[in-house]
Amino acid sequence: MTELMSMTEPEICELCVSLGEPAYRGKQLFGWLQKGIRSFDELNNLPASLRGKLKENCLLCTCKTVKRQISSDGTRKYLFELYDGERIESVFMRYRHGNTVCVSTQAGCRMGCSFCASTIKGLKRSLYASEILLQIFEIRADTGERISNVVLMGMGEPLDNYENVIRFLHLANDEKGLGIGYRHISLSTCGLIDKMDRLSEEGLPVTLSVSLHAPNGDIRKAIMPVANRYGYDELLEACVRYEQKTKRRISFEYALISGVNDRPEHALELAGRLKGTLCHVNLIPLNHTERKGYKRSERDAVQAFAATLEKHGITATVRRSLGNDISAACGQLKAEND
C-alpha cells in the first residue's frame, strides 16, 4: 500500500498521473498533505473521484494524542498512538532560541543502552517519515505555536531507520510544509559509523550529536552494547571524517553517571581523546529511569567534569534538564500503556 504523507512532491505527481489525473493535482495534494491533515475527508478540495481512489490505494498515517502532560517548566510530553496501535512519545520545549519538538524515530529501540528507558522493551518498528512529521503537526496544532527547531532525540535510533529519517528531513525542510531550516534540526546517534558516513554524503547541514558517554572503549562497552560493534577509536575517526566532509562541528552527548564515567580521571582521559577535534561536549546529568543500578552524578562532580574539559580547551555545557517531573527528559521516553 502506498503511504501517502511520506511522498515527495515529484512522487505524488507521478502517483496522480498513474491514477489518471493531471500532474498539477499532485502539487496541490502535496501542499495539503504537508499542512498536516488527519483524514482523507480533509482533502475536500480534491475531486471526489480522486479522493476515492486515494482512499482505496493509499495509507494515510495518523498520530493520535492518547495523553498529554504539562511540566511545571512548561515542557509538554505527548503519548501518541499510531495507525496500527503502536505508541510513541514526543516532547515540546520552549527555549529562548525558539520552540523545539523532540521527535521519536522508532517505536522502541534495539540499541540496548543500559541507562535508557526507550530500549527496555526492544524495537517494535521503525516509523514512516510521515509519522515523524505528524508528531510535529500534532504538537503545533495543540500548542498553537510556531515550531522552529526539531531534535531527533526521542525514542529510537534515527540512523537505524535511515531512509525514512532522510525522507523526513527533506519533507520537514520543504517550504510547502514545515519549512524548518536544516541548521535548526539536530540528529542524535549512538554511533552507527557506516550510517554516519552515509549521512555526511547527503549534503544536509543538520547538526549531528553523537552519544559518547564514556572516555574509553571499556567503559563505553560496559554501558552501551553498540560499542561492541564499533570501536571507540573507530567512532572518533568517523566523527573527524564527518567534520571534514561537512565542515560542521559535532556535538558529543555525555550522560554523567555517578562512579561510572564521572570521575576526574575520566574527564582528563576524555579531554585527551577529544583534543584537536572540532567539537562540543554536552554533559547530561543522568536522568532517572526504572533501570536499576545507576545514579546521577553529584552537582560538584558535574561542575568539576565540565571545568576539566574547559581547562583542556574542549567546550562543554551542562544540559538543562526539562520536563523531569513528567519523565520527559533525555532517556525517559517510553511507550507507556496507561
Nearer CB in complex with ligand SAH: 46/111:
111
Residue 260 binding ligand SAH, by CB under 6 A: no
Q: Which stretch binds ligand SAH (CB under 6 A): 162-170, 185-193, 237-245, 271-279?
A: 185-193
Residue 289 interacting with ligand SAH (CB under 6 A): yes
Can residue 251 be called a binding residue for ligand SAH (CB under 6 A)? no
Residue 164 touching ligand SAH (CB under 6 A) = no
For ligand SAH, the binding residue among 129, 165, 284, 309 (CB under 6 A) is 284
The reply to whether 255 sits near ligand SAH by the rule CB under 6 A is yes
Q: Using the rule CB under 6 A, give the single segment among 138-146, 184-192, 241-249, 305-313 that binds ligand SAH.
A: 184-192
What is the grid cell recorded at 109?
529501540
Closest residue to ligand SAH using C-beta atoms: 331
Task: Please choose, out of 14-22, 67-75, 127-135, 282-290, the segment that lies near ligand SAH by the rule CB under 6 A.
Answer: 282-290
Between 138 and 160, name the residue whose CB sits nearer to ligand SAH: 160
Residue span binding ligand SAH (CB under 6 A) among the ranges 20-28, 131-139, 192-200, 285-293: 285-293
Catalytic residue numbers, as ranges: 89, 330
User: Interface with ligand SAH includes 261 (CB under 6 A)?
Assistant: no
Shortest spacing between CB 287 and ligand SAH, in angstroms: 4
Contact call for residue 153 and ligand SAH (CB under 6 A): yes
Residue ranges in contact with ligand SAH by CB under 6 A:
111, 113, 115-116, 153, 157, 188-190, 211, 253, 255, 284, 286-287, 289, 330-331
